[in-house]
Structure 1
Amino acid sequence: MSAYIVATVDITDAERFALYAKGIAGLAERFGGEPVVKGAVTEVLEGDIAVGQRVVVTRFPCVEDAKAYIASPEYRAACEHRKGAAAVAIRLLTA
């Protein structure tokens, strides 16, 4: 069963966030991840979120691979750069 990591990101410090992005570049793919969509919200049709909020969806072959990515030492180290640079919510979905 495929697993999807869905992240919503509100960047507050672009320079610091860029260090996080550099740290995770290509990492999801090492765990079988495949990018589905990455971009900014262009229009809010319902709800209370900001236009410009970034959304990233990555498909993994299974839940275990998705969780291994999030738990990896490389990902955890990159997250240190994200602190204070963005408000991030990460969700796991299965299909």
Structure 2
Amino acid sequence: MRKALGLPRDEKLPTREELPAAGRAAGVPLIEDAQTRLPSIARAYEQYRARKDTATPIRNAAILAVAEEPYNWTHEKISQAIGRDPSLVSMVINGRR
């Protein structure tokens, strides 16, 4: 929510009553039939999470494999190959992810 509203981390979130006005001010579009669309959106999100939860360990294993012998790829080369930020590659290699 903070990101959608463009709020910095240290700024207080709007109250429930202030939220519609804050959303409009941030340019967040109002979805008129949100209550009917929410179940399908939730299903799509659950499917996304399942795919991500399956793919992440495979991606991490691949990162570790190419970072070691015989490949010795650099963090930058790995990040370019997978289209992700070098900091993610560093976190995987250093065991923080």
Classify the TM-score, shorter chain: under 0.3
TM-score, with normalisation over the residues of structure 2? 0.24
Structure (1 or 2) with the greater strand fraction: 1
Q: Tell me which structure has the larger Cα radius of gyration.
A: 2
Compare relative contact order (CA 8 Å, sep 6+) and give the higher one, 1 or 2: 1
